[in-house]
Chains A and B, each alone.
Chain A
Amino acid sequence: MARDIPPSMTTQQSLALGLLTPGRAGQIVRVDGALAGAGVLSADELERRLLELGFVEGARVEILHEGLFGHDPIAVRVDDMRVALRRREAQAIEVCFEDSKV
């Protein structure tokens, strides 16, 4: 996991889960349905569904795989389970890479 983070990046940096490439790992710092933009579900509903599937602040995540077409959907390790979702909804999850030990 550490190999994905350039040595210079030892300070905190956070990105939406929906933007990450396979192999990147980090810790969830924020789950906010509004970040995913308008969709079929309301921001609150999306947020609750993500939470119920284990996407909660503090959980460790790692992008495992992505689809062939448009790199979508993505398969994500969330703590000790795996979840598949589309990048669009994954935008609601903000991940931070604290240092190379994350």
Chain B
Amino acid sequence: MTSPALAPARIALVGNPNSGKTALFNALTGARQKVANYAGVTVERKEGHLTTPAGRTLSILDLPGTYSLRARSPDEAVTRDAVLGRLAGEHEPDVLIAVADATNMRLMLRLVLELKQVGRPFVLALNMYDIAQRQGLRIDIEGLSRELGAPVVTTVATRKRGIEDLVAAADALVLDHENHANTWQEPTAAQIRAAHGEAQRIMRTYVKPAERPDTLTGKFDSVLLHPVAGLVILLTLLFVMFQAVFSWATPVADLIGEGFGQIGRLIALVVPEGLLRSFINDGIIAGVGGVLVFLPQILILFFFIILLEDTGYMARAAFLMDKVMGKAGLHGRAFLPLLSSFACAIPGIMATRVIDQKRDRLTTIMVAPLMTCSARIPVYTLIIGALIPQRNVWGWINLQGLVMFGLYAVGILSTLIVSAVIQRVFWRTGSEPFMMELPAYKLPDAGLVARQLWQRAMIFINRAGRIILPLMVIVWLLSTFPYPPEGATGPAIDYSFAGIIGHAIQPFLAPIGFNWEMSVALIPGMAAREVAVGTLGTIYAVGDAEGAGAHILQGILATQWSLATGLSFLAWYIFAPQCVATLGVVKRETGSWLWPTVMFSYMIALAYLASFVTFQSAKALGWG
């Protein structure tokens, strides 16, 4: 860094979606990359570093994919502003690398013509060049370079081919550093047409069309996009995915839970009984465990999502589900996050980043927790087992199963209705038109999948964890302090803040049929829905309410709760935002406390309303 000629420089990658830009970024920077957010917006910022053979450090920014500098979404606005050097909190790039899919260059050439107007030096990387060669596509590299007035380099990012040349070309531009005046302004329709004509001329002059164009994609599509077969395949795939997230994750999550239990027992050996042990075990360890326990589900879900994205199938899934989601005012891309929320809203909400329109994404985030997540199951099972008789209706339908099904159905229906209301009433816009490229199918690259998976895990632990953990500790504080007085007979929680709050809010919950035991259980139940089961066990002095004690607890509830109360509690759990982790992740994904607050308020309101209607109708029916 002593010679000014070796001063660090900034490079930004620009390209169409599906141009292999992320693979190229990965090939350039390897493990030296960092994912963060751009200042003030929730767009993901990926930056990496590399050192040139001469010793210059290049910082590489992977900008969101776009077809135009005329930004249509927050992601594309970041790309535009970064290219123009007017992004708040960012330095302007010294050199741009324009990444094109060598087999599908037309739209990128038009974007390159826009980039030229910006006046910043750029290199054009013709990526996936091996596929172009296999197809017999011939590109006059020198001619193209002369025409564009910029170096053109061929690359195969997944095989790390052409990377040295690309770095050398970019490095050379850093030295020359000849910025022209920026003449870019948002193109009109006529200007876009003119640029298309120009791109078309360049294509005709320098690119000889493929002799053996890709026919595989068309063949795959004739099955995968078939109106009936395509849907069957999609639903099968989703079923497998859902099963995997739901069942494969459980043993691992249990193992994590067990591991943290063991740590707790070890600590119990060392740390004497008392406040410190309780804080370490029930506050910190339970809190960290409560964050990590989501990791298996997140990893499995994102493994599938990354695979679907990288093969090109995700766009097809969106195509197939677009009409259905359209009814809820959303478009096809919202389907997968919502489906994932059946397992857990947290990976579901994280998965909404496949939706590029900001409002559609926000709506999907806001309704995701209405889908019946797996944490509700212990609560549902407990109450249904205690209060719904085990008998058949209409001869063959199990009544308990029917109630369970009803709870799921109400969850799905309310998701769709609330989403339609948000889209049509609050945004008053309806969803953005569904328009997307269906990229050619590709084999995913194992290394790239692994790296993206690792990044997802780190993002969750580092950022969501930082929000969730303190919230968990707060719930612990509320449930622990103050201590019960000497000689107290009731359960300790009854004397804590949680107990005090529970008793205080009980009058408000009386119209929905909640007794004080239930009101108290709601407070620690904020940590996670299933915690309410354990708390009810504690209050009713039943040990191991989630395991062997479950039947005893059900017996007690059956005698102490009326059917109307039980149904009301179930209705509450369909809607209530009983999960600080979800609220934490919404904060992280939207970048503000506004949205978690809105979510908490509307869900509480819906829960209260649903419970009120349920309780009062059940009472009127004589089930009180």
Q: Which residues of A contact B (CB under 8 A)?
A: 39-41, 44, 46-54, 56-58, 64-70, 72-73, 75, 79-86, 88-89
Scoring B209, B225, B315 by chain A CB atoms within 10 A of each residue's CB, the highest score goes to B225
Q: Which residues of B contact A (CB under 8 A)?
A: 67-68, 70, 72, 103-104, 106-107, 110, 187-189, 192-193, 196, 200, 209-210, 213, 217-218, 221-222, 225-228, 230-231, 315, 318-320, 322-324, 332, 429-439
**Known: A65-B225, A66-B227. Contact between A48 and B429, CB under 8 A?**
no
Q: How many A-B residue contacts, CB cutoff 8 Å?
A: 119
**Known: A56-B193, A85-B435. Contact between A70 and B430, CB under 8 A?**
no
Closest chain A residue, CB of each to CB of B224: A65
A48 touches B323 (CB 8 A): no
What are some 27 contacts across the A-B interface (CB < 8 A)?
A40-B430, A41-B432, A48-B192, A49-B433, A51-B192, A52-B70, A53-B107, A54-B106, A56-B192, A56-B193, A65-B222, A65-B225, A65-B227, A65-B230, A67-B319, A68-B228, A73-B319, A73-B332, A80-B103, A80-B106, A81-B106, A81-B107, A81-B437, A82-B438, A86-B433, A88-B433, A89-B433
A58 cross-chain contacts in B, Cβ below 8 A: 200
A68 touches B435 (CB 8 A): no
A75's contact among B107, B187, B193, B221, by CB below 8 Å, is which?
Answer: B221
A46's contact among B227, B323, B430, B433, by CB below 8 Å, is which?
Answer: B433
A67 touches B192 (CB 8 A): no
Q: A88 to B319, alpha carbons, bound, how many Å? A: 15
Shortest distance between the CB of B115 and any CB in chain A (Å): 14
Closest chain B residue, CB of each to CB of A69: B323
Closest chain B residue, CB of each to CB of A66: B227
Closest chain B residue, CB of each to CB of A47: B189
Closest chain A residue, CB of each to CB of B438: A82
B107 touches A54 (CB 8 A): yes
B315's contact among A64, A69, A84, by CB below 8 Å, is which?
Answer: A84
Shortest distance between the CB of B543 and any CB in chain A (Å): 53
A73 cross-chain contacts in B, Cβ below 8 A: 319, 322-323, 332, 434
A53 touches B434 (CB 8 A): no
**Known: A48-B189, A75-B221. Contact between A53 and B323, CB under 8 A?**
no
A72 touches B323 (CB 8 A): yes
Shortest distance between the CB of A91 and any CB in chain B (Å): 11
Shortest distance between the CB of A22 and any CB in chain B (Å): 9
A67 touches B438 (CB 8 A): no
Scoring B210, B228, B319 by chain A CB atoms within 10 A of each residue's CB, the highest score goes to B319
A40 touches B437 (CB 8 A): no
B434 touches A85 (CB 8 A): yes
A84 cross-chain contacts in B, Cβ below 8 A: 315, 318-319, 322, 434-438
A39 cross-chain contacts in B, Cβ below 8 A: 430, 433
B433 cross-chain contacts in A, Cβ below 8 A: 39-41, 46, 49, 85-86, 88-89
B106 touches A67 (CB 8 A): no
**Known: A67-B319, A69-B323. Contact between A83 and B435, CB under 8 A?**
yes
B193's contact among A46, A51, A79, A83, by CB below 8 Å, is which?
Answer: A51
A53 touches B228 (CB 8 A): no
**Known: A48-B70, A49-B72, A53-B67. Contact between A69 and B107, CB under 8 A?**
no
Q: A40 to B434, alpha carbons, bound, how many Å? A: 11
A40's contact among B200, B217, B230, B429, by CB below 8 Å, is which?
Answer: B429
Closest chain B residue, CB of each to CB of A88: B433
Q: A29 to B322, alpha carbons, bound, how many Å? A: 28
Closest chain B residue, CB of each to CB of A70: B323
B430 touches A64 (CB 8 A): no
B438 cross-chain contacts in A, Cβ below 8 A: 75, 82-84
Scoring B193, B322, B433 by chain A CB atoms within 10 A of each residue's CB, the highest score goes to B433
B439 cross-chain contacts in A, Cβ below 8 A: 82
B435's contact among A53, A72, A81, A82, by CB below 8 Å, is which?
Answer: A53
B434 touches A86 (CB 8 A): yes
B435 touches A51 (CB 8 A): no
B68 touches A52 (CB 8 A): yes
Can you add 12 more A-B contacts, CB < 8 Å, to A48-B188, A65-B226? A41-B433, A51-B193, A53-B107, A56-B196, A58-B200, A65-B221, A68-B227, A80-B209, A82-B437, A85-B433, A88-B433, A89-B433
B315 cross-chain contacts in A, Cβ below 8 A: 84
B323's contact among A47, A67, A75, A89, by CB below 8 Å, is which?
Answer: A67
Shortest distance between the CB of A23 and any CB in chain B (Å): 11
B189 cross-chain contacts in A, Cβ below 8 A: 44, 47-48, 51
A40 touches B227 (CB 8 A): no
